[in-house]
Structure 1
C-alpha cells in the first residue's frame, strides 16, 4: 500500500500523509488516491484532462509511479473501470474554493494583489520575487476564470435557486437518466448543417482518442453535467446567452448550440413525466376544498404564453401575434390535477390561436371520460364541446372589477 500519495490535479492539496487536511467533495463516499493508468489511450485522456488545471508541462508516462488522482475529480466519486467512457477525471477545483480550503498557516503572509501592481511586486522579499520570475505562467494562471460547475452549489438552497430542482439528488437522478442519450447526441448546428452531419461525432474524450471512426475535431468545452446545469439555469433564471457564456467560459454560439440540443433531448426523454392520472387516482388525492364543492373535477386547464423574437416572415408574424399580450408569442394548453401536478401539455401554437381552438385541436378532449368535470376560467367557451363528451365545465364564480360578489355566488363557494 502506498503511504505517500498526493493528488496531481491543480488547486488540489489532498495528500495521503495528512488526512486531517484532506477535503472530500459531496459526491464522494470514500476518498481514494487512484494510481496513474497503464493503458496508453486512457493515460493520454487523463493527461489531457488534468493538464488544463495546471500551468506547468504535465506529461507523466503510462503507469507512472508516484502520480495519483483523488476521487474528488471523478464524476461518480470513484473510478469506473467497466465504463471507460466516464473513467477519467473531469471535475476540477476552482480558484475560490482552493483559497477557502487553505489553512490559516498557508494563508499567512499572503497579500492581495491590486490592479496597480504586478504579481511579483506584491512581495518585498527577494525569495518571493525570484519565485515568480522562475515560473511566471503559474502566477498568471491562478488569476484565470474557471468555468462554473455543479459542485460549487454546496447548499440545497443553491440547487433549488439555480436549477429549479428540489435537491442535489434530484439533479443527479435527472442527469444519470439523460447521460446515456446525451453521450451519443448530435449537437445543433442549424437545420441544414445538422442534417448533413453524421451521428458519429465524438462526445467524450475517450471516443476522441480511441480512434473509433468518429469525425475529428475539438473536444467539448464543458462536461455533460455542466451542459445540463447551464440549460437548467437558463430555464430557471432566464439568463442571457452572453451571461452564461461568461459564467461557463465558452462562446455565445456554443451556449446557443448546447441549449437547443439539451432542450430537444429533455423534451423527448422527460415527456414521460407528464402522466394523465386515472379517475380513481385523481379522487384519492383530491384536496378537501374540492371534495366539498367540485368532487368530480378531473383537471384544471389554462393557456400559457411565452414571448418570442419577431418573425421574419409576414405570414408567420401574423400567426404568432397575440392581441392579449400585444407581442409575438407561442401558446400552449396546460392541464393540472386538483392537487397541482402537471398532467398534460399540448403542442405549441401561435399567439393568434384562441383558447377554444387549442382545446379542440390539441387532442385534450380525447383524454376525458364521461361525467368528468373540467375547471377553467371565463375565457374558455367550451361548454358545448364538453357536452359532446358527456363532460361538464366548471367555472368558479368571481367578482367583476369594483363590484361585490353576488350572494348566490358566495353561497356556492362556501365550504
Structure 2
C-alpha cells in the first residue's frame, strides 16, 4: 500500500488524488511538496482531513456510513505547518468586527481634536476586508473524490433493509443472520494477514459480503470489482484471504455431538438396539500366475 504523499507523514495512504485537474492541483499545492506531480497511485491519509470533510449519512438509507468517503470538492487542510481555522458564520463575523475595530482605532483622532470626515482610505480598507471575506467563503465544486468501495453499486449498508437482496446474493435470510455470521469471525477479522497488500479501502462487512457473493453467485472478479467500485486485484486478494481465514476459524468448531447428547435425543426404539460389526480373517492360497483366482 503506498504511503501518504505529505512530507514527513509515514501513514498508509487512503484517499486517491482526484481526477479533476483543478481539484488535483489544489491537493498538490496544499501538501507543499516541491516539484511534486501526483500519479494514479498517489494517496493521502485520513489525518489530513477534518471530520466535517466526510459524508455523515448515506443519501440512500439515511444511516451512518460504514465506509468513510470524502465530500465533493474537499481539499486537505490539516498539516503540521497549518492551524485549523474555523469557518462558521459566527467566527467569520467576529473576525470581521475585530478587524473593523482595529481600523477604526487606527484612524480615529484623539478626544481633544475635532472629528474629521471619514477617510476614503479607511473605506477602501474595509471594502478590501469584505472582499477577502467573500473569497474566504467556501464554494461547492461538483467534483467527486474517489475513496474505495463507497462509490460502488453494492454495499452491506445499501442492502441492510432489503432481506430479499441479502438472500439472493448471500443465501442468508436477512441482515441479522449476516451479522451473526460476521460475529462468529470477530474480532479476529479486524487483524487479517492478507495474501496480497493490506485492504484498507473496503470495510470488514463488505469484504465478507464479497466473499459470500462469490460463493453463492459465482460472480467473476471483474463483475464484483465493478459492483463494489474496486479493482479486480483487490477482489481476488479479499476472496483468497477470507476463504482461508474462515476455514481456519470455523474448522475449530466441534460439529459432532457427544455420546451422551446422541443417546439423549435418540428415539426410544433405537436405544436398545445396537448393530455389532465383526471381521473374520481367513488365509487363502492361490497360484502365483493368478488363473486360480478366476
- What TM-score do the two structures reach when normalised by structure 1? 0.33
* Bigger Rg over Cα: 2
- Quick one: higher RCO (CA 8 Å, sep 6+), 1 or 2? 2
- What TM-score do the two structures reach when normalised by structure 2? 0.45
Bigger proportion of residues as strand: 1
